[in-house]
Structure formats: structure tokens, C-alpha cells
Structure 1
Amino acid sequence: MASLSAVVSHAADQTADPERALANFNAWVDAFQSPSPYLRSIEEHPDAIKPLMAIFAASQSLSNVLRTEPELAGILLESGFDRRPNYQEEADRAWQGAPTLEAALDRLRWMKRRDFLAIAALDCLDRIELTDTVERLSDLADAVVQAALDIAHNFVAPSQVCIIAFGKLGGRELNYSSDIDLVMLTKDEPAPNDLKVAEALIRALSGQMRRGILYRTDMRLRPEGRFGRLVRSLGATRSYYEHWAEPWERQALIKARRCAGNAETGRDFERFARAFAYRAGLQEKELEAIRAMKRRAESETEKAGETETNIKLGRGGIRDIEFVAQLLQLAHGGRNPRLQTRSTLAALARLAEAGFLEADEAKSLADAYRFLRHVEHRLQLLEEHQTHLLPNDERKRIAKLMGAPETFEKRLDACRHSAREALERHFYGGQSLQSRTDSLDLAVFKDQNGAEQALKSMGSETSYGVPFPEAAETFAQIKSELVAACARSVDPDLALKSLASLAASTPNPGQMFAMFRDSPQTLSRLAELAAIPRLWSMLMRRPELIDSLFDEQTADTEARTGFEIKPGAWSRIAFRERLRSGARFVWGIIDRRQLALELTSFADAVLLTAKTEAGLDNESAIAAMGRLGARRPGLGSDWDVVLIGNNGAAAEKFLQLCNEAVEKGEIPPIDSRLRPEGRSGALIRSIDYYEEYYARHAEPWERLAAVNLRIIGDDPHGYGQRLQNALMSRPVSPESRTEMNRLRLRMKSERKQKGLDLKFADGGMADIELTMQLAVLERSAENHRLRAIYDQLAEARDWQWLTEGALPATANPMREAMTEASAIVERVWTRGGCK
């Protein structure tokens, strides 16, 4: 039997760094009070020392761990240590029976260290392939996250939180020193316990304890990034992606995978993520946004002087290969389900099978990916730092650890060349990065000189005559993304011009640019709004409202109702909510019908608050007319109202308060001319007067207008029903029909605009409204059931009452035409039309 010293010396000589291996072995032995059992095992089984010596040669960080906890080496000296354990069972066993949360986490850290050590040893001995290495590291992380969550459930509170992994953990491609990117979801609205558990889980994973941390945990991939809620419901998360997500967030969903927590919620999210990521094709605007993000990352790498030394982010690095695979997956995965894989190597192989990569190119990229990931692992094992830098003074050592010191540099250059060549061909369309950047900056603008000047002004180092060099530096980081965001808007020139004006009016634009850098979705949404003149004009009057446009209320896909407005602030709140609703409509979060409901809801709240401030008593009422009465107002609609009651002074005060808010631009114009006798009539009349007027004296056009009459708020005295009964008690005579038609034709001739007039054209919105109103007047007088149906469904903003006998054949086409025309008018109005 060979002596112990001979066994150790021989094993050290077989490693890439014999001197380091021997030094670390001796330090490990010295750390024991009694190393005899371990040394005896090595002497009796000489091959058992090989895993241990491989670690001592390749990883100083793990060697240091073995100095502090030398007994951990036992796993490496066991026969069969290369088996693939059930990490979840081991993690669960590790903490069971712990008396405190801290003790449970300490035991879990010990288990993680032990199994991490075994994986590293197998890798250093080349006993497992790259895919096996990264899958073991990922499965170990999954088990630790689940165990940490279970510990939080046991010691903090129960919850139904689901943990979604993104990035390398999501793709089961974890390296030795990766952050783990996590997002936390619940099936329904998060309960207080869910938030407590989420916070406890983050502390458990990334909190420093005696045995260090479990994993650096990054939560910034959650909706709205670091500004977003820590835990969101599945519905709110889906809503965010459907209405707010940037192209890079769609790209990130390729890797999304449940790693712990509620399984049902995880399955639901994974189904959504796959459908959303692989929806049909990849639009040029989305591709340009992803390119802009990649350019920014490369620019930062270049500024750091790491273009040639960073094997992940540098030229021809790991990220180049990942971008090629993911770009082609996004472009073709919707029609080719086999491309819908989280694994980079699997994606490359399947892209070749499907013909989107040449077989030789796919093999070259796969070989390069394996080699670069292998280099990455060797770098990180040295000190277990999150590094991707290959400095000159470490290259020889890494080459030895890779087992090919003579060919390392040549192989590295070849891999990086093939990776970059593929990126240039597939990602940048064959052009060099610089030429692609130059053409991007101005190609999307009609006035390229103006665009150049706008970009130059935004990148200036001064604002208000004060130097802000950091603003210029930050702007340089977001310039490409800003251009891409403007390109996605309806008017890139106007969007850029508007954003430049905003920057010029901001005392410290660097803060705004930093917000854009940290939250690309904010930049994208604001650029979209900057191309909408009327809404942007509103925002520039109150730029402090920008933050309110990016809160949870704005992201909600349901129409917001039930506004509560405090006296004294109603006009300013109305302005904010009108702007918010307009932004939600422009961004596609709500449709035209939901927009009308929101506008109606806060208009009602505003008017009722003004009524209270004016001193109108409970015997008084506000009746909405026109589009507001029908619950179909637009952003450019006046608010038509009439007042019911007896207090003339309070009525005058009400109108004065409203007109003051109108003059400030905080609410739309108030129009009270639909009252009896119009401008020359009394501002407020009693309910008895209105009842008598509509039953006996109202002109045909007044009867038509009153069809939309609606009492705002509670109606304890039944004014609405009394007025409806009076209005519909009189049949429509042939003479009235003739007068109504004459009025319709006169309005068309007087008000029709040049070009396409959606309102007054034949078959336009005015004709549909007149038909609806006339049908109500003609049929409801003889059909009380129809009147009740109308009253009920008008509240629900629906025209299904027409199918109950009024206009059954044309009800649905009319409704569809009105809905479509209203949406078009709304969008045209926001862009400065429909005067």
C-alpha cells in the first residue's frame, strides 16, 4: 500500500495546479481537530482523493469553505458520490425538526454547500457534461427555494405564493455564481400573509448568516421592475404583460418556469407565458426595441473596457449566442411548437432541424456555447464570484483548468468569432453594429435634421444654464431605446419633439433619463403618449402627474368606477382622472366602452361634489343629458346638465364653480342649454315644472334630447321615473316626425365637415342616435315593458332593448357601427382632430 504522502502527491500532480492543490489539502487537514478517519479512508482508497484534490486545485473559494467546515469533504470521499440525488428530498430532510427559523435556514445552507461541492467536483473531474452540470445546479436551487418557502410557511405564515424563475434558473442553465431571477404570484389578489411570506423568503435566500447566503436574489424582472408590487395576482400579472410589457419582457418569458410554491398557479402562468412569448411572429418594432437593449448593454461593456475580456457580455460572448437563439425562437416559435424550449442548446438544435439555422452553423454555435460556459464555470469556481471577465493574468491558469493550455486561445477566438458572426447575420441583418446604430437613429423620422437637433438638445450637458454632465451620460445610455420607443408611436417626429420639450422644461433631466433607463416600459408608454397632442398638452400643464400614469390604477384592465372625491379638490382630481383614462385608452388597456364608463363615473362624482359645495339641497337634483346622460361621453365631450329644484342662488353658485374649473382647463365645458327655453330659461326649475313641460309643451327636438336624461347619483324622490313617464306619455305625431327629420337634415347641412364625417354623414353617428331616440319615443308610449327594458339596459350601456320589438333587424349592426365610430372619433380627437 502506498504511503499517504505518496497518494496525496500523486493526486496533486494529476490536477491543473499541483502547488495550489497541495497547499489547500494541508490547510484542510490542519482545520481538523482529529483528521485521522478521513486520512485513513484516503490511504485505504487512493482514488477517493481525486474529487477532493480537483476542488483544491480549481476553486479557492470552495477550498476556503472546506477549511471552515472540513467535515463537508466527507461527501467527496464516499463511494458513489457522483450519483444524482433527489435534491428536494435532501433539502426537506435538512431542516425538519429545527426549533427556529434561523436554525432551519442554517441547516439548509449546510445542505446546499454539501451538494454544491459535489457538483463542482464532478464538473472539475469532467465526469459530467455541461448540460448535466447546469441542470444539477438548477435543480439544487429549485429545491432550496422550495425548502426556504416551506420554512417561511412553517415559521411565518401559510400562503399560496407561487415562485416563477426567469433567466438562467428558469431555463435550468444556472451557473456557479448566478443571481436567481424570481417573480412571485398568487392566483387571486395577494393576502397580507402572502406579502409576509414573500419578504421572509427573500430574506431567507439572500440574508447573510454564519454560512453565508443561499442565493443572490433578483426581483427586478417582476412587472414594473423595482417599482412594482412584490407579489401580484395572476390576473394582474397577465394584464401587465398584455398591455404594458416591453419586447424584452416578452423575450424573458421564453425562460419563465415555476420553480416553487403553488403548482396550479405555476401551470397557469407557464401556459400564459408560452402563449404570450410565442404569439405570431416578431414585428420589426419589437425587434428594434430588443436591438436597442442589446446595443445599450454592449455600450456599457465597451465603456468598462471589457469588450474583449467579458466572455458573457463582450463581443462574441455567451449573450450573443443566446440572443441569436431567442430571436429566432420569437420569430418562428409561434408556428413551430418544437422551438418553444427554455434550453439554449435544445433551441439551437431544433432551429437547425426546422431549417432556420444551417446545420453547420447550429453545431458551431452549440460548441461555442459549451466552451464559453465551461470557461465561465472555471472563472467562477476560482473565487465563487459573479464574474465573466477573463483577464490576461488568469488566462494561462484557466487554460490549464480547461485541460488544453496549448489550444485554449485559438479555440476561444474561434468560438467568439462564430458567435459574433451569427449575431451580425441574424440579429443585425448583416451590418456592423456601428453602421446599424447610425442608421437607426434617424431613419424612422421624416424630419431627420429636426430629429438630430432634438437628440442633441436632450443629450446636452446643461439645463437651465446649469451643468448636468451625468444627465448627458445617462441620456447616452437610453438614446437607442428612446428612438425605438418613438418609432413605435403613431408619430415618431412628434413623439421625439414632445419628449425633447419635456426634457428641456425639467430642471434636472438626468432624473427623468434615469427613470427611463430603469423602467423601459415607462419610456415606451410616455413616448406613445407624446405623439398624442391633446393628451400630451394636458400632461404638460401638470407634468407632476407623470408618476400617477404608471401606478397600479392605470394598469388595471377593468373600468374604474365608484370615485370618491373630497370637496375642495374635485376639479384637480377630475383633470387627473380624465388624463389617466385617456392614457389608458391610448395604451389599449381599456376599450371605448370602458373609457365611456370611467368618464361617466368621475363626471358624476365631480358634479355631485360641486352640487354639495354650491349648497344645492337634497330636494335638488342634477340631470345629465346628451352623451353624458347616455353614459357614452368621450374625452372631448361637453357635460350637458339641467338642474332640478328651487334654489336659484345655489344653482348659480354651482354653475360658477363649474365654469371656474372649465376656465382652468380642469373639466370639460358645462352646457346647460338643453333646459326648457335654453339660455333664456331659468337655470333651475322644479320637478313639477319639468314634468308638465315634457308631457305637454316640449318641442320634438327637446323630446329627442330628453331620451338620454339621467338623474346623477341617488334619486330618492323618483325624479327620473316621473320625467320618463311624462316624456313618453305622449305619442309621436306625424307632424313631429316630419319636424325631427327636418331638424336632422338642417344639422347635417350646417355642421357636416369636409372629408369623412363620422357624425353627420349619411348613416353616421347622428343618424344612429336619432333612430334610437325616436324608437324609444314611438314604442315606449305603447309598450311599458320596452320602457322598463330601456331604462334597465341604458344603465348597462347596452342597446339590446332595440331587439325587444323596436328595431330587431338592425339593432346589432347599429350598435357595432356606433361602437366602431365612437372609438375612431376618440382616437382622432386625442390627435387633434374632431373639432
Structure 2
Amino acid sequence: MLLDREPVLAAALAEGRLDPIPAPLDLDMPVARRLRLERRALALRVAIGDLAGVFDLSAVTQQLTGFADHALDTAIRTAIEERTPGAEPRGFAAIALGKQGSGELNYSSDIDPILIYDPDTLPLRPREEPEAAAVRIGKRVVELLQARDGDGYVLRVDLRLRPSPEITPIALPIDAAISYYEAQALPWERAAFIRARAAAGDIALGRQFLDTVRPFVWRRALDFGAIGEIRGISRRIRDHHAQGQAFGPGYDLKRGRGGIREAEFFAQIHQLIHGGRDPVLRAPATRVALARLAEAGWIGGDEARALIESYTLLRTIEHRVQMIDDRQTHALPTGDALERVAWLHGLDGSAALLALLAPHVAATGRIYDALDDGAASGLSHDPTRLDAELAEAGFAEPEPARQRIAAWRAGAYPALRSSAAQAALEAVLPTLVPALAAAPEPQAAMLRLDSMLERLPSAINVFRLLEARPALATLLAAILSHAPTLAEELARRPALLDGLIDATALAPVAAVDALIDRMRAGEAGLDYQGRLDHVRRVVGELRFALGAQIVAGTSDPLDVAAGYARVAEAAIAVLAEATIRSFADVHGRVPGSELVILALGRMGGAMLTHASDLDLVYLFTGDFTAESDGAKPLGATLYYNRLAQRVTAALSVATAAGPLYQIDTRLRPSGAQGPLVVTLDSFARYQHEEAWTWEHMALTRARPVFGSAPARAALSAVIADVLTGARTERDVVGDATRMRADMAAHKPAKGPLDAKLLPGGLVDLEFATHVVQLVERSGFDANLGRAIAQLVAEGRMPATMLAAHDILTRLLVTLRLVAPDAAPPGPPTQALIARALGLHDWPAVLAGLAEVRQQVTAFWHELTGEQDE
């Protein structure tokens, strides 16, 4: 029991006295311990006097504040004396803000000083710079006050109210502090200085500072912009701290609606408006300020009395709460703990306590609400008014949107629960809501944003980015409306949104060499895993931006498809190089040999979709009997098979920076049953002598994407030789017909818009093109569009096939983003698809698809001799 540790006070109480606390007699006692003992004794004496009714609220807070001033002053003097013995404690002052500044400290209050110094008078050690000395003094002051031992602590110190606390030292030179407050300070800092007071250290210096910045706080003339700023502070404070503060057990006495903070801010708002002309109104203490405002006629007498009574009661109950275990809390407890608080106040139980508080809380909330003139720049918290605002913004059905916003404001998800996240949310809602309302499918956009917020670790940066870039909010709304694929990625990696800040994000993707340079940038100092993560981040941003180009309508899907392929090729180059270097550190390199990567399928044709796999074949040049020259040598075949596995992992394994690509290596010689890597000679021999028709069809879209120029040229020569005739004769038409039938049986179309697998879709067009290429030994270009164009020019394919290729490819690339299930989307997204295909409406899309499918089917049947069903 604390009283057992204070025998002098206990003896006085036994005699019915509440004597002042004498200072510890041991003058040699360390200062920090002496202050801790003084604080413990004072808090006990004040608490007993408080509960006994001897001390009213003013007496309690004044004694607690007086001790804080004494302790802070003692700590400053001690810190200076320790560093410069015998020096006059000048040139260093503490400006008290908050409740210390107004003389209203709680039992468990922090103190919020601003530490300033005068470089010309601050005591210094030889050859010491004033800034370094001031920072060391400040750190020692904090240490003396905050250090804990068996006797507790003296005071908690919060220095974050100083200007720009994230970048400034803990003690500021007086001239720099003055310059900041005169030129750069924010509106809330004006409000904070209403309660500023020179509390400790060089009081004259502190008063000089406050006298100088007084015009910054107390402006004689307020324009409407300044009044708007002040009302903005009011609304943000009210809305920010009102969430989840329903009156009852757990109610926050300080921050809850109708709580202590609202009474304080009501007074400060009126002081800022009128105190510039009337110095009498500049009282730092809340109740004094309210009384003077009423006397001057600026607020009603009934309002002042109601607020003063409420403030007095709530502060008193706050003290009761803090008496239990010296807790730094402002919330009413729940359960049995609330009963104990009621008993401390002399009430029968928690019901009586809540009944006592309820009318005062309601009165304060009602009076405080009247501050808002209805011209709020943010969205209302009132459901009826918010519904009207949402309807005005463009929501045809505002209720679902209002419910969703209410859930966000209530901190429904972890990313929304911090005070900073709530502040950022309120700031961005006026930008975000109109953007969502203007989206083609507002409710769908709202739901996808909700899903995204649910999975975000933090929403603050996203909100701040959207607030700063309203155009980005509009693009985000479109993405959320149309593109579930992109919305899913954004939910997993919200940093992808950062990539859209630059206007070039909606421009064509750079050439492969430039992309390689971008992916290599920043590699210095990174280990292998760091390089992988860096490439993943760059690729993620680029792919997301390419998808956004389709949603925004700034690029042709054919150009986007080519951009996807360039990004993938650059990623292969950079990651393969990094993997080779890492692998060589252990196993060395195989002399006269290198890894070569061949792309097939869409990657070979340099036309990917957002969801495309990469079909790759790994080869190596040189002698397969050779051995690597590293510390752990390997035979060439084993070396390259292990290396290729590492490259595949680098390209496909997901990390914290996200996934890259699915890699498919089944098109290698002998398929999945064969080795992962073979020599270039083995590949050539296999293609010449053993490959099946389907493998030669795949080879028509083969393109080397990694390796030295000579190695790529050698591989390209092998492919050209095979395709132009040096291959085993096969029944190309018959084999292709059977393969297409098998594929149709085992892999049917996913939906009515499956541009790839529907009869007459891209697969049929690809089969038809490859059959013509192999039979005619002509038109060999890995890019399907260019191959068709060449065959059309030679009269080997009808001209309609080129238009069919473009429509089907545009549709496939677009649907992978906006309708990955290949089912018809809603009307707004239908309009986006029509725009992407260069058609005027959705019926034109359906008619165009039907027409090209019919044309492709007819050509396929003409090639194979099949009859139309």
C-alpha cells in the first residue's frame, strides 16, 4: 500500500491533518530519485484530499501542474549543472503546452513542452557547438524525468508538439522557432499556443519567445479563410475522435463525443476568433476561458455554465479512473472496474455514475455540434445528410455506399483503425466519393475498394496519394469498376498505385534495352534476393500500368500485349544474369559454354496477356562433357539443369515483393519426360529427326530471348533450317486436325466470350496459320500477326484472317483484365470492351466476334477438308 511508504503523511492523516509535503531531507540524494519521491508523495496527498472533498478540481490540477513545473525546472538546472558546473542556468527554456500550459494537469498526464535555447547565452563546454549542447541537455532532462525504478517515475515527456518533430532536433534555437511560427505553422499549432506558458528554465527567455510569436496566435483581423481554417480544425477533431465513442462503459471521457476535448476546443475556437481584439479572452484554462467568453457576450451564459459543469465533472471522473494503478487512460472501464470508479466518487454503482454523466455529455455534444456552420469540406457523419451528399455526387442508391463509408469510419479493418488512417480517410473522401460515383459501376467499385481496404496492412499512403492526385482517384475508380484482375493485385500490393503517379505510366512501354536498364538500376549494394525483389517491384508496376492503359483507353490492346512481352523479356534478361552470377559464385562457369533461353507460344510471338504463362526452353552451347571451373565444379549437363531450375525459381517463386510469371517448360524436347536443359546440338538433332508435328507447330513461334548474339543467331539458324524443310515428313494437316479435336474435347471454352478456345477463335486461327506455314514452308515469323500478314501478301491466306487476328487478340487481352471468366460483363464494361476493339457498341462487338469466328472456322475447314456442322 502506497500510504505505508509515506509515514509522515500517514501520521498527519492519523491526526486529521493534510499537511504540505516536506522536501526529502537527504540533500545528497540523486535528483531523479528525489523528484520521484516528491511526485509519489504529492500524488498521494492530492488524491486523498481529492477523494475527501478537501481539494476541488482546481486545487488538484494546480498542485499537479505546480509540481510538473518544479520537476521540469529542476531537471533543466541539473542537466546544465552536470555539464557545466557552476554556470548560471540561462539560455534554455521549456514552453509548456497542453494541460501543463493551462495549469490543468491530470494525475497521469504527459507534459508536452517545446524546448528552446539561445545560442548566445547557453552554457557550453570548450569547443562545443550550441546545437549539440542543447540537444544533450534536452536528452538529459527527458532521462531525469522519465527514467523508472522501484519508486516509479517523475513525468512522461512528449516532445512531438515542436515544429516538424520528424526532422528537427529536440531543442530549437529561439530564432528558428520564431521564424517557423511566424511563417510556416499550421492552424492546429495556433490552437495549441492558446495554452502556451514559459514554465521552466530561463523564464525570461521563454517569455521573450512567447511575446514575439503572440501575433501569430492572436490575430486582430480574421478573414473568412482563417475562420474556415478554424472551423476545419473543429470538424477534424470532432470527427476524428468521435468514432466508436458511444456513451456507456468504455466511453472515452477525453475524446468521445460530448467529452472533455470538445469543451476545450469549443473555448479555443472562440478564443482564436475573438481573442485577437480582446486580450481578456486569452485565458489558457478552459473553465476560465469559457467564463470570460460568456462575460464578453461571445457565447451564451447557459452554454458556458453547461460546459463548465460538464468539464468539471468529466475531469473529476477522469481523475478517479487514473487513480487506479496510475493508468494513463481517459476511458471509462467496463465491468467491475467501472463499479470501483463509481464507488471512488461516492456513488452506489456504475448505473448511477453513467446516469450522472449522461446529461452533461449530451449537453456538451449538442453545444459543440453547433460550431459547424454546415459548410464542411468533408463528408457529413449524419446519415441523412450523408445520403443526400452521396446522391448529389452521383450514387443512384446512396444507402449501400453510406453503410460502407460508416464501416470504414468505424475502423472495420485493421488498415483503418489508427487515428492517422482515420484522418487520411476523412481527408480523401471528398475526392474519392465523386470519383467512385462517376465510375461506370459505382457500387461494384465501392465493393472492390472495400475488399482492397480489408486486406491492406495500412491505408494511409494510399489515401494520401489519392488526395494529392484527384485524377488518380478517377482512374482507380475505373479500375475497381472494370478490372477485377487489377483490383485483386492492388489489394495484395497497394504500392502498385504509386507507379501510376508519373504521366508516362499511361504511355507505351519502353524498348527492352531501356527496361533492362530500369530493372538493373538500384542493384548496387543489393544481394541476390534483393535484386529479385527489385525486379519484381518494377515488373509489377509496369504490368499494372499496362493494364490500366486498357481501362483508361489510352492504348490499343495490341500495343499493350507487345508491352507485356517486352517487360517479360527484360525480366528474363536481368533475372537470368543475376542468377548466373550467383550460381557462378559457388560453381564457377563452364568454359566455352553459355545458357540460352528460347521462348515459344505467346512469349515467342511477343504478344502476351496480363495472365500469360511464359513457355520457355532452356539450352546450352558447347561440349556437354565439359566441367565448371568453380569451388564446387559440376559437369555441364548437371550444371545447366541446376542453373535452369534456379532461373525458373527466380522468374516464378513469389516473394514479399509479389509473384512474377508462371513458367511452362513442357515444350522442351521430349516434353515433361525429358531433361530440363539440353545442348543446342541435341535440340537441333531432335527437331530435325524426332519432333512431332505439334512441336514443329510450336517452333513456328520460337524466339531466342536470352543469350549472346552469336548463340541466339546459331539457335535461330537451327529453327529456320528445321522449319524450311530439314525435318521428318509428317501428315501436317491430319496431325493438326486430330490435335485440335483432342484439345476441343479436353479443354472447352470457359465462356461465351472465350476468344481463345471458342470454335473459330484464336487457337483455330493459330492452328490454321501453322498448318499453312509448315505445308508451304513460308511465312515464318514468331509474331502471329506478322506471319499472317506475310501469308496474306503471298496469297496463302485470305485477307480476312488478319482482321480476325486483330479482333480476337484485342478481345483476349482485354477480357483477361475485365472479364477473366469470359462471361459478358455489365453494360459499362461492355462499352470499355467495344472501345478497346475500336467498335461503336456492344452489339457490334458480338457481331464482329461472330463474323470473325465464322471466317476462321470456314478457313480451317477449307484447310482440313472438314465439313461445317
Q: Report the TM range for the smaller structure's normalisation.
A: 0.3 to 0.5
The two structures have a TM-score, normalised by structure 2, of 0.44
Q: Which has the larger radius of gyration?
A: 2
